[in-house]
Every structure is written in C-alpha cells, then in structure tokens.
Amino acid sequence: MSSAEALPEPEEPGTQAHASRVLLRFVEGLGETKVAAETRVPAGTTLFDAASWNGVAIDSTCGGHGTCKKCKVRVVSGSVPVSSVDSRAFGVEEIRDGWRLACRAEAHDDVVVHVPPLQTRPKAALAGVGRHVILRPAVQKRYLELEEPSLEDQRSDVERVLAAMDDLELRVPLEVARDLGRTLRAADFRVTAVICDEELIDVQPGDTSDRLYALAFDLGTTTVVANLLDLSTGVPLAVRSMLNKQQPFGADVISRISATMLDPDALATLRARAHETMDELAGEVCEHAEVAREEVYEIVVTGNVTMLQLALGIDPEPLSMAPFIIAARQLPPAHASDFGVSVHPRAPAVTFPALGAYVGGDIVAGLLATGVTLDRRIRLFIDVGTNSEIVLGSRDRVVATAAPAGPAFEAAQIRCGMRAAEGAIEGVTIADGGLSLQVIGDSEPLGMCGSGLVDAVAELVGAGLLDSTGRFVDDATAAAISPELASRFATIDKERVFVLAWRGNDPAASVFLSQRDVRELQFAKASIATGWNILTRELGVEVGDIAQVLLAGSFGSYLSAASAVKIGLVPKMALTRIVSAGNVAGEGAKIAALSIAERHASRAILEEVEYVELSGRTDFNDLFVDQLAFPS
C-alpha cells in the first residue's frame, strides 16, 4: 500500500470542488510522509508547474522541455499518464513504479507525488504579497567553448551551437543565423548563447553570461511603471514611473476609446504615446542601473485590455459597447519593439491574459502576485478605480467581474477633487465634534483625492451628519450634533455642501464636499458592493466566509480600511483582515519575468477564473439599490 492512501480526503462537506480540478499533494523525505504542499490545479496541469507555483522546487536545467531529464518525481498514489519523454529517462520497471518527468507529467486525477531532494538549491525571491518565487526566468545565457569545424566535423554553424545545449530544443530565428558564421569565427568559437524561452535570440562573442536583464511594465491608464530586474539574482535594480502620455486624450479608458472612434488617426497617435512613455521609462531605469538597453532580453507588460490593445495598435472600439468584446484573451506573441521599447532587437514582450473587456491582464497579474487562486482561504480582491475589478474565491474556485464605478475615486467628477498630489486632503477624522485633515505634503489643502473623499463621507456618516440614504442632515440636526461642524454647512449654486477646509469666508473658494459628490461616491461604492455581492452568490458563499480583502492598485493603497467598511465599499470585518496590497499588477509582472513557471500559472488563471458579466444580469438593479445606502 502506498503511504498516500492513508492520507485523509480533505474535501469538506459543502465545498464542492471545481469540476475540472484535481488535488495534488507533494511529499518529501524518505518516508514520503512530509507534505510539502497540497494544491488544487486545473486538470492537465503538469506536476512541474504545480510544484513550482506552490514553492516546491524540482530540479531542472532545460526549463521544462523534457530534455534535461532532471525533474524526476515519483507518483506514489493515483495515476499520471506516461508521456513520450518518460521512456527516454526511465526503464519500464521505473515507469511502472510511478517515476515520471514532472515537466511533461499531466495531472488528470488526484495524485500524491514524491519529490526527491534537490541536488542544488534554487535561488528564490520574495515578490507580490508574500509570494516565494523560485528564480527560473525565461531568459538564460550559456557560455560555450565550441570545437572548431573540420573536414571530419562538418556540422553546420547552427547545429554546432545547438549541440552544445542539447538539453534544450531551440528555435533559431533567421536574424541569428545570418550573423552566426561571422560571430563564431571572429570569437574563435567562444560565444555566449542568449536564450529566451524556446528561442535562441542571440549569440554574442566571448562570455557575457553575467549580464542578463528584463523589464517589467505596468501600463496603467494614468501611470506607467517600469521595473528593471537583474535576472541572475532576481533583484530589482531600478524602478521609475511617469504619467501615461496618452493623458491628453482623456483620463479614463472610455474617453481614450472614444478618441479613436472620432478620429481615424487617433489610434496611431495613442499607440505612439504609449510607446514613448514606455521607451522613456526603459531609458531611465537602464541609465540609472548602468545597464545597456541591448542587455535587456525580455519585457513583461501588464495593463488593462484597453491599454494593451491601444499600445499594440488593436482597434479598441468593440471594448466600449455591449457586448464588450476583446480581441483575444491571450494576445499573440509580441516583441519589445511592438511596444516601441528599444531593448535587444529580438527581445520578446510577454503579456498577461485577460478575463474580459474590463478584467484585464493587470488583474491577472494581481491575482498572480496575491496568490488568490492558490490560497485555501476565500479572499476578495478589489482594484478600485473608474472601472473596478472584483475577484472572489480560493484555490477551489474563483469568480471575477468588473463594476463600472465611475470617476468618483479618481476625483475627476468631484467638485473639489484632485489627484493624490501635494495639497490633496487624503484623510479626514471627525472626533469630539471637531474635524482634522491629513494633507499630502502637510501643505495648505487644495482639494481632496479619492481616499479623502471616502474618509470624509465615512466620517460624516459616522458623525450622523450624513444619513444612511446619503443626504446631508438639516441645519438643526447638525447643530444638535456639533455647532462647529454645523457651521461648515453652506449652499453653493443651490446645492448643500460641507466645507472641509475654509479659504477665507467664501465656501465656494474653499475645499468642500457637495451633495452631488456624495451621490457620486454612493453610486461608485454601490456598484462595487453589488459586484462582490453577486460574486458571493455565484460562488455560493456568505459575505461572512470571506477571510481577507485585498485592496489593489494605487488608490487601494491610500484608502483607509475603516472608512471603506464604514461606507460599505468592502464587507464588514476586522480591519486587520483588510489589506492594502499595493501595485500588485506591477508585482505580478515582475514575478512573470523571474519565473517561467509562474508565467504558466498566469495563463492557467485564465482557465481557473470564471468571468461574470454584470450588464446582462436581472438581479443587478435590485442589489444595486440595496447597496446605495450607507451601512448603519
């Protein structure tokens, strides 16, 4: 009897596993009893990828091509089909005993797998939200000292180079073949091969194997971030961000798409603007880290669907109107040059897949960085913005949707709204009948940013100055609560407002919150709350089952957890369980650059996460009205 049969079946009653998922247990040690990891993955996932995503290191030098024969594992319970490479690595007896090459062994049933101890300890990096990433980039270099050809050894130049790396099966592009003969002979057949995934992208004279870099981009609608990574160490060498140069075409994706519909030249211009932004950032980080652009051999790009389609010159119009159709869930293979980024001329550009028109690669990157699809706990992921993406689930099943929150959080439609820059009120506290403000840069308040807006509304609701329907109370009620706060009410253009920061005595010149601003926020938060309420229904769980809320994106980082709960933007729970996860899209891009297994995981997310379209739903409006009110 194999030891695994003794392990208890972990299925709990009521938690129906996703139909196409299988349970894998990786065990270590001689007794095969130490469970290193336990995970549910989509049927068909290789044991190698599943182990890697769960931090279980398996030996490999070929990157999963079935050629290095190092990733030997033994299936000790359950069965895994024999792949075509197994017969090259094992005898009949060993195959019968369950030995498989993990990189080609697809799990189609629940299995227990014994992983032999490693020969070498892999490098690893911490990235994302507590993710332990085993360093195995798609890019690698090999220094080769080749035999010179002779009449007895007339192998072609390409064959000679490939034979020196016979653990890999590489494609050789025409451009590399073109210069190979000259390079080999000029360098006395001592060269460095640059490999990206399954392609030999360069052969360089001499030994350059210690110089190996990649760029990870978060191509945001507002901000673009570039991270330069040293792929031999996993260390980020430089990071820079700048506003997306598409800004003059509008703050949000809809206005950018509209621009392309009004002007036939706008798509080309928007594309060029994105390219300029990305290339300028590439130049800055390379210069800072003293890395030549040609030493960057891969770029990873994440961003929402509109940003990626615009950057690649793909018509975005079908994204903007029902039924909201994207060009491709996984965009075709591209090169850095397709994004206008001047690095190595044959550097590929890796993009993340998208779940739908409004749940794009940035969210998939975020899920990769936070491990939502790997975790046992049910977690709620919200990227708050003009379009808010909401994901709910655990490793058993994950559902996702997009909620059109409107521009409240970007503060664009808010009368005194402004970006989160110096002078923006980012925090509001009402205590003891008085009001205090946190202003960015500790300077004179000039307006309020999204987090300030949420705080202000939350505090006013808490103080009783806004009722649960979102109406400012009348002066008498206000005065009864606090004369100081009551004095801040005023009327501008027949609209009732609450002054946060006076400038002189004129309310209209001051920083204030208007009744309409409150309505904007109500609509936004109701939209988001409706989103996660529908997702709990889809998943068949209660709001109380949610173990953690991850607030993603730059806005999520500033938002106060307490205020988010107070206005009902997130479910009510202990504040420590509401986590500002930061720029998880950018982290996801870094992870994909550092690990090819994690990159595969991001593609698996596409199959694992179900997209729920809200626009077609009959229950949306009812739920939305319910969510408009502030929790009491």
Q: Is 88 in the site for a copy of itself (CB under 8 A)?
A: no
Least distance to a copy of itself, CB of residue 531, Å? 16
| Cα–Cα dist 590/119, whole Å | 27
List 126, 235, 328, 421, residue binding a copy of itself (CB under 8 A): 328
Find the binder of a copy of itself among 152, 290, 432, 493 (CB under 8 A): 152
Q: What six digits make up the tokens of 79?
A: 């069965």
Of 179 and 475, which has the nearer Cβ to a copy of itself?
179
Q: How many residues of this chain bind a copy of itself (CB under 8 A)?
A: 51
- Count the Cβ atoms, other than its own, within 10 Å of residue 370: 25
CB of 613 to a copy of itself, least distance (A): 6
Closest CB to a copy of itself among residues 173, 206: 173
Other C-beta atoms lying within 10 Å of the C-beta of residue 251: 18
Across 314-348, b (16+ Cβ under 10 Å) vs e yields bebebbbeeeeebbebebeebbbbbbbbbbbebbb
> 570-605 burial by CB neighbour count: b if 16+ within 10 A, else e?
bbebeeebbbbbbbbbbbbbbbbbbbbbbbbbbbbb
Smallest separation (angstroms) from a copy of itself to the CB of 84? 7
In this chain, which of 216, 326, 448, 585 binds a copy of itself, going by CB under 8 A? 326
180 counts as binding a copy of itself under rule CB under 8 A: yes
For the beta carbon of residue 163, count every other beta carbon within 10 angstroms. Answer: 12
Stretch that binds a copy of itself, among 130-138, 320-328, 363-371, 569-577 (CB under 8 A): 320-328
Give the shortest CB-495-to-a copy of itself separation in angstroms.
37
Question: Residue 514: beta bridge partners?
Answer: 497
Residues 587-616 that bind a copy of itself (CB under 8 A): 611, 613, 615-616
Q: Which is nearer to a copy of itself, 516 or 603 (CB)?
A: 603
* Near a copy of itself by CB under 8 A: residue from 2, 83, 209, 269: 83
Beta carbon nearer to a copy of itself, 29 or 81: 81
| Least distance (Å) between residue 398 CB and a copy of itself | 18
Q: Which tokens sit at 220?
A: 């945001």
Here the tokens at position 529 are 């709350």
Look up residue 542 and give its two tokens: 């209660």
- Mark 260-299 with x for binding to a copy of itself (rule: CB under 8 A) and - for no binding: ----------------------------------------
* Contact status, residue 593 vs residue 368, Cβ threshold 8 Å: no
491 CB-side CA count, 13 A:
5
Restricted to residues 392-431, the positions that interact with a copy of itself (CB under 8 A) are none
Which is closer to a copy of itself, CB of 16 or CB of 87? 87
Q: Is 85 an interacting residue with respect to a copy of itself (CB under 8 A)?
A: no
Q: Does 323 bind a copy of itself (CB under 8 A)?
A: yes
Which residues have C-beta within 8 Å of that of residue 131, sequence separation ≥ 6?
A: 368, 369, 370, 371, 587, 591
When asked if residue 518 is in the footprint of a copy of itself (CB under 8 A), the reply is no
Round the CA-based radius of gyration of the chain to a whole number and report it: 28
- The conformational region for residue 371 under phi > 0 = left, psi -120 to 50 = alpha, else beta, is left
Return the number of other C-beta atoms located less than 10 Å from residue 296's C-beta.
26
Question: Which string of x and - marks every residue 52-81 that binds a copy of itself (by CB under 8 A)?
Answer: -----------------------------x
Smallest gap, in angstroms, from Cβ of residue 81 to a copy of itself? 7
Residue 245 CB contacts under 8 Å (≥ 6 apart), including other chains? 273, 274, 276, 277
Positions in the binding site for a copy of itself (CB under 8 A): 81, 83-84, 149-159, 171-174, 176-182, 185, 312-315, 317-318, 322-329, 331-334, 338, 356-357, 611, 613, 615-616
